[in-house]
Amino acid sequence: MCVFGLSKMIVGTEWLIEASGCDADSLRDESLIRGILESVIADLGLKAVGSVWHKFPGEAGVTGMIALTESHLACHTYPEHNIATFNLYCCRTRPEWNWEERLTELLGAENVSVTKIERGSNEIRIASAGGAE
């Protein structure tokens, strides 16, 4: 743990998101998943510097990662389990994105859980969807 005076050195914030009970067809739709990640980037004022995407064959899902000047944003979908997982890491403080509302709306998610980790703090804070701690 880095300590300067009484404050801790936070080097970034990471959000781990799991959306379950999602519509399987939506989880196979690469353009929809790309659109979700693009919305996160636009809404939070992030800057993309490159990306990698893969649509698995047949009834399988999509995986994508976008490198950001602030770090990265990734998604993996599992239509066979009706689950999508997301990971956003930012090296600067950012507002909360409303994962619960947006993933319920866009993917038909029945449940969305958000884990927020302040990196470099040696403390893990778990926040529910919508940012309440």
Catalytic residue IDs: 71, 76, 91
Check residue 97 and report its DSSP letter: P
* DSSP single-letter state for residue 38: H
122 contacts: CB under 8 Å, gap ≥ 6: 1, 8
CA dist 78 and 28 (Å) reads 8
- Residue 41 amino acid letter: I
Structure tokens at 51: 């990306």
